[in-house]
Amino acid sequence: MRIIVIGAGVVGTTSAWYLLKDGHDVTVVERNAHSAMETSYANAGGICPGFAGPWAAPGMPWKALRWLFQDSAPLKVRPRFDPAQWKWLAQFTANCTRSRFAQNKARMQAMAHYSKRCLTELVEETGIEYDAAHKGILHLFTTDAEMTIGHASSRVLTEMGIEHRLLQPSEIVQIEPALGLRSQTFSGGIHLTTDETGDCRLFTQALAILAEQRGARFLYNTDATRLLIKNGRIHGLETPQETLEADAYVVAAGPFSRSLLASAGLSAPIYPVKGYSLTCTISDNQAAPVSCVMDEHSKVMITRLGSRLRAAGMAELAGFDPTPTPSARRLLLERVKTLFPNASDYDKAEWWCGFRPMTPDGPARLGQSVIDNLFINIGHGSNGWTQACGTSRVLADLMAGRTPQVSA
Ligand SMILES: Cc1cc2nc3c(=O)[nH]c(=O)nc-3n(C[C@H](O)[C@H](O)[C@H](O)COP(=O)(O)OP(=O)(O)OC[C@H]3O[C@@H](n4cnc5c(N)ncnc54)[C@H](O)[C@@H]3O)c2cc1C
């Protein structure tokens, strides 16, 4: 089958990879000059099924309301005259019940664990290098209230059979010695021993090259402007240069999927949630994290990626406005400097922001749309690096008529 994949982020590129392995003739259309130049460019680098879960959780609407009035909040809703934002927020709130949270979390966990197995197989097959490490992730708690959340999380992890270790404050430095270099106090932690880290951009760009070598066509600098419909099917993809034709089309355009799907009369429940990261060269190995710390206090994740340190976090619901918010950058910088003050020269950090493609309930959307030759693989939110291989393999299964190993 001739298949056009729209988008060469981690999701579009892994989709192309698995479709290629099924023997399809694959073309990837990407408006940037390279793959992974948008949300997959500089995320926190965590491949962490242990954390996969929806943001729509019991109590979240009240927290978000309180955060509206705090300058130093990890999540900020900036209300706009945008019906898409209000609709998304209403759907998000409706998913904050205990039962919906449990259902959505279970689905995301199943996909994330499956995805990690798929990633392992893919790396074994290709030998791709992406500053990967397999040293677990430390969930760090500073206050007693956070540790109470930690105990509850540990119970859920145990119920789900996820390997982890609950840590006393004194045990934290055994996992991350640099946290002991300054007189900071923590209330405890959880070590998710099997979670991994790696650079999503390096992975995606290496995979795109391999896919090209194995026969996929990557049309870079090509903007997909419209899906053209005739007799209830997609008969072409309009680009400024030409109309491209295929037997089937896959939309994997991350946060930008909504407008493309709208051109075919479809709606996608995705809203962009802006996040920030900084990346810098590690100047003192002993003062840097060994692996990855997820700081519950600020919701900032700090990861070692080879010889670099990446800190990422913050969340703003403000449409596609790329303007950095000074308070968000300040908070991120303050927290990484507090936890790992001497790891790097933070004045030389490279700053980035990207838009998480968030669904209101949490799970990504994938499979056939109501138009039978149009497929989607979208809405991976804050877990796209963790889930991409899994959702893309399931997509390839569905397109081949096979039963996937986990439900979509
Ligand atoms: C601050 C931050 C930290 C994060 N940390 C983590 C983490 O630690 N672990 C994790 O699992 N996830 C993390 N994520 C989430 C993860 O980065 C995303 O879920 C993932 O990158 C989404 O990938 P994607 O391929 O769907 O989207 P993208 O990477 O945005 O790819 C979409 C592609 O489609 C292209 N495109 C869009 N429209 C068109 C068009 N019309 N024509 C042609 N091309 C088009 C874009 O140019 C882009 O290349 C984080 C996100 C952020 C913002």
Q: What is the pLDDT of residues 74-85, one digit of tens each?
A: 788 888 888 899
User: Atom 45, ligand 1: which residue's CA is nearest?
Assistant: 7
User: Which tokens sit at 271?
Assistant: 């809203």
Torsion sign, CA atoms 97, 103, 104, 105: positive
Coil, strand, or helix at residue 395?
Answer: helix
- Say what the pLDDT of residue 67 is: 78
Domain ranges in the chain are 2-136+194-400
Ligand 1 within 6 A of CB of 310: no
Q: What is the per-residue pLDDT across 160-197, written as a single tens digit (0 to 9) for each? A: 888 999 999 999 999 999 998 777 789 999 999 999 99
Distance 8 CA to ligand 1 centre (A): 9
Distance 320 CA to ligand 1 centre (A): 13
Distance 201 CA to ligand 1 centre (A): 10
Q: Is the pLDDT of residue 138 over 90?
A: yes
Coil, strand, or helix at residue 290?
Answer: coil
159 confidence band (pLDDT: 50, 70, 90): confident
Distance 384 CA to ligand 1 centre (A): 7
Average pLDDT over residues 335-340: 95
In CATH, which superfamily holds the domain spanning 2-136+194-400? FAD/NAD(P)-binding domain (3.50.50.60)
Q: What is the per-residue pLDDT across 261-319, written as a single tens digit (0 to 9) for each? A: 999 999 999 999 999 999 999 999 999 999 999 999 999 999 999 999 999 999 999 89
Share of the chain above pLDDT 90, in %: 86
Q: What is the per-residue pLDDT across 89-101, written as a single tens digit (0 to 9) for each? A: 999 999 999 999 9
65, 52 Cβ separation under 8 angstroms: no
Q: Is the pLDDT of residue 65 over 80?
A: no
Coil, strand, or helix at residue 174?
Answer: helix
Of 32, 199, 385, 387, the residue with max ligand 1 atoms within 8 A of its CB, to mutate for a pocket test, comes to 385
Of 18, 43, 221, the residue with max ligand 1 atoms within 8 A of its CB, to mutate for a pocket test, comes to 43
Q: What is the per-residue pLDDT across 191-241, written as a single tens digit (0 to 9) for each? A: 999 999 999 999 999 999 999 999 999 999 999 999 999 999 999 999 999
Distance 356 CA to ligand 1 centre (A): 6
- Say what the pLDDT of residue 109 is: 92
Q: Is the pLDDT of residue 120 over 90?
A: yes
Of 39, 202, 301, 378, the residue with max ligand 1 atoms within 8 A of its CB, to mutate for a pocket test, comes to 39
Distance 322 CA to ligand 1 centre (A): 14
63 confidence band (pLDDT: 50, 70, 90): confident
Q: Is the pLDDT of residue 71 over 80?
A: no
Ligand 1 within 6 A of CB of 49: no
The whole-angstrom separation of Cα 217 and Cα 36 is: 16
Share of the chain above pLDDT 70, in %: 100
pTM confidence score: 0.97
- Angle between helical axes of 384-400 and 98-126 (0-180°, round to 10): 80
Ligand 1 within 6 A of CB of 115: no
236, 284 Cβ separation under 8 angstroms: no
